[in-house]
Chain A
Amino acid sequence: VYDLIYAFALLIVALALSWPLGRVMAAIARPSRDQPDWLDRAMTKVLGPRALAEQTWKGYALTLLGFNVVMFTVTYAILIFQGSLPLNPAGKPGVEPSLAFHTAMSFATNTNLQHYSGEVALSYFSQLFGLTWLQFVSAATGIAALAAIARVLGPIGKIGNFYRDLVRFTLLLVLLALLVGCVLIVAGTPMTFAGPVELTTLEGGQQTIARGPVAAMVAIKQLGTNGGGFFGPNSAHPLENPSFFTCALENLSILVMPMASLWMFGRLTGRMRDAWVLFAVMAALFLALVIPATLLEAQPNPGLADLAIVEGRGNLEGKELRFGSAAGPIWAVTTTATSNGSVAAMHDSLNPLTGLMPMIGMWLNVGFGGVGVGLLGMLLYVIITVFIAGLMVGRTPEYFGRKVEVREMKLAALALLLHPFLILGGTAWFVATHLGTETMSNPGSHGFSQVLYEMSSAAANNGSGFEGLADNTMPWNLVTGLWMFLGRYLPIILPLAIAASLASKQRVPESVGTLRTDSPTFGVMLFGCVVLLGALLFLPAAVLGPIAEQLEMSR
């Protein structure tokens, strides 16, 4: 019961913090009214008078892609040449090319899937100026795309300018990360450029303890729903996440920005009631995963039931007991429902059905979702729901007072179908060939789950892993690298196109026949639509993986 209270408390505190933050984000995203503000003036001075010009949707998307090419290229180069770059006290050599490709793609796409251990493979320069930099700008990219859509659909009626959004949201993230980072430092997370510590343990053995500029990376990895940690074990590592207090703070930081994105959307579009309905649906999806995960993980692992050990606290394998036994499953759902991907427990060790919950979080990817992009995904579901509801009542579907027609539906269906295609297609390919079977650490259904989880994590831009998988191989690096790419940019570009297409149409006056998207009825339909589509697409894969494993263990 206390565990569930903790989960509810996280949700409520995150809601309370996200509300004022959403107000700030909306103010940031709004065009300057009469006079350009100090930031606009500074940007015009530095970049020239045309830098902040209004863009078309295509121009906005091209600039976004162009900036991301630069992000990818710079980080790839930093990783390859880190051996010759400064801030490398441990003398780490350059990263192997396929791993550098994967890592640069992973951080540019806000995924942060890591096929390496940071403390072993990367220099401080790579961690800070390659990866942490991307954690700021990739998160800002996601919020920017959402802000553009909200502006064009709402009363502002314009897409805006990508560079303006990018700079403003990056600055906001820097301020927030500074705040969270300082608290983490006080709570015991290291922030130093000194090299690893060599010490003699009480038993007389020698131990090397890695450290570095950890707090900076941990703060933004949570706030930006990035998830990529400084150390291999991520937030299960005692220097990334020293205590229950930091665990709660980090878990909270994961939830705040995706929620605030909702309120920004509501304010920019002038439709706060719509935002509340979307919040209710997202919160319901989140709770529908957190509650079962907490309850299922409170059961001991059936495979250990006959051993003479006390299992009264549930399944303790792979848990960090300084957080309490339920922090693992609650974090597992929070991190996957929001597209974060940091971990505070070994997901590979979760009970099979508990392990299914984070997978569902990634399959749906809208239980708040990533910063900005989570709501973009939900808007695709809204378009589909509006269309289905329109068919049911026999009227032309409308959203934001504009008719939803064939081309919007085609684009929305394309964006939604891409996700299962990448996950299921990739899983089928890897479990049917040696590419996957040789890298699994378990045979049978658990091995299948490992591959399924990895593909889901890449396509959903999540970044967590079941971790039993030996995934630092050329095929895994290449395929998941491309999957992250496709799972990131098409679901940003397609909603931008849909919003631009809708905005170019005449407004249809509201009548009694209009299906309101700000009513509880619509919320229930939307919830049903998300769950049904998710179940239709992914249930067979779930049966082959975690469900089969649970049945095998319970025999």
Chain B
Amino acid sequence: MQILIFLVIGWAAFAVCTSILGAIDRVVQEGNER
């Protein structure tokens, strides 16, 4: 069970980072459009 929990924590960290990347991309895109 613990094996899965820590694997999921690692994946979740990457998933959060990917969504932050999306947010940063929107900031950059909005700046370009302006």
Complex Cα gap A449–B11 (Å)? 32
Q: What mask results when residues 18 to 31 of chain B are scored 1 for a CB within 8 Å of chain A, else 0?
A: 10110011011011
Which of A7-15, A67-75, A259-267, A458-466 binds B? A67-75
Complex Cα gap A490–B32 (Å)? 21
List residues of chain B with CB within 8 A of the CB of A55: none
Chain B interface: which size bin?
20 to 34
| Contact status A69-B31, CB under 8 Å | no
Complex Cα gap A72–B7 (Å)? 9
Pick the contact of B10: A57, A72, A405, A504 (CB < 8 A): A72
| Contact status B27-A410, CB under 8 Å | yes
List residues of chain B with CB within 8 A of the CB of A533: none
Considering the complex, give the chain B residue whose CB is closest to the CB of A489. B17
| Contact status A76-B28, CB under 8 Å | no
Complex Cα gap A62–B14 (Å)? 10
* A-B contacts, CB under 8 A, total: 72
Task: State how many angstroms separate the Cβ of B34 from the closest Cβ of chain A.
Answer: 9
Q: Which of A88-105 contact B (CB under 8 A)?
A: 97-98, 100-101, 104-105
| Contact status B17-A490, CB under 8 Å | yes
Residue numbers of B with Cβ under 8 A of A are 2-3, 5-7, 9-11, 13-14, 17-18, 20-21, 24-25, 27-28, 30-32
List residues of chain B with CB within 8 A of the CB of A72: 10, 14
Q: Take A73-B7, A501-B31 as given contacts and tell me if A65 and B24 are in contact as well, using a CB distance cutoff of 8 Å.
A: no
| Contact status B25-A497, CB under 8 Å | yes
Task: State how many angstroms separate the Cβ of A96 from the closest Cβ of chain B.
Answer: 8
Q: Take A407-B31, A411-B27, A501-B28 as given contacts and tell me if A100 and B21 are in contact as well, using a CB distance cutoff of 8 Å.
A: no
List residues of chain B with CB within 8 A of the CB of A410: 27
Task: State how many angstroms separate the Cβ of B6 from the closest Cβ of chain A.
Answer: 4
Complex Cα gap A406–B33 (Å)? 14
Task: State how many angstroms separate the Cβ of A108 from the closest Cβ of chain B.
Answer: 9
Asked if A61 CB lies within 8 Å of chain B CBs, one says yes
Task: State how many angstroms separate the Cβ of B8 from the closest Cβ of chain A.
Answer: 10
Complex Cα gap A146–B25 (Å)? 19
Q: What mask results when residues 493 to 511 of chain A are scored 1 for a CB within 8 Å of chain B, else 0?
A: 1100100110010000000
Q: Which of A50-90 contact B (CB under 8 A)?
A: 57-58, 61-62, 65, 68-69, 72-73, 76, 80
| Contact status B6-A76, CB under 8 Å | yes
Asked if A323 CB lies within 8 Å of chain B CBs, one says no
Complex Cα gap A60–B2 (Å)? 33
| Contact status B6-A494, CB under 8 Å | no
Task: State how many angstroms separate the Cβ of A488 from the closest Cβ of chain B.
Answer: 10
Complex Cα gap A500–B32 (Å)? 10
| Contact status B24-A68, CB under 8 Å | no
List residues of chain B with CB within 8 A of the CB of A62: 18, 21
Asked if A482 CB lies within 8 Å of chain B CBs, one says yes
The 7 closest A-B CB pairs, nearest first, are A101-B6, A97-B2, A407-B31, A97-B6, A501-B28, A69-B14, A497-B24
| Contact status A497-B28, CB under 8 Å | yes
Q: Take A97-B3, A97-B5 as given contacts and tell me if A493 and B17 are in contact as well, using a CB distance cutoff of 8 Å.
A: yes
| Contact status A69-B11, CB under 8 Å | yes
Complex Cα gap A73–B11 (Å)? 8
| Contact status B10-A493, CB under 8 Å | no
| Contact status A104-B27, CB under 8 Å | no
Pick the contact of B2: A65, A69, A98, A493 (CB < 8 A): A98
Task: State how many angstroms separate the Cβ of A102 from the closest Cβ of chain B.
Answer: 9
List residues of chain B with CB within 8 A of the CB of A57: 25, 28
Considering the complex, give the chain B residue whose CB is closest to the CB of A478. B9
Task: State how many angstroms separate the Cβ of A373 from the closest Cβ of chain B.
Answer: 15
Asked if A485 CB lies within 8 Å of chain B CBs, one says yes
Complex Cα gap A493–B18 (Å)? 10
Q: Count chain A CB atoms within 10 A of each CB in B17, B21, B24 and give the residue with the most.
A: B24
List residues of chain A with CB within 8 A of the CB of B5: 97
Task: State how many angstroms separate the Cβ of B16 from the closest Cβ of chain A.
Answer: 9
Q: Take A80-B3, A101-B9, A407-B28 as given contacts and tell me if A490 and B14 are in contact as well, using a CB distance cutoff of 8 Å.
A: no
Supply 14 further A-B pairs (C-beta < 8 A) apart from A98-B6, A104-B10: A57-B25, A73-B11, A97-B5, A98-B2, A101-B9, A405-B31, A407-B27, A482-B13, A485-B14, A489-B17, A493-B17, A493-B20, A497-B25, A501-B31
Pick the contact of A485: B13, B21, B24, B31 (CB < 8 A): B13
List residues of chain B with CB within 8 A of the CB of A500: 28
Complex Cα gap A174–B2 (Å)? 35
| Contact status B9-A493, CB under 8 Å | no
| Contact status A76-B17, CB under 8 Å | no
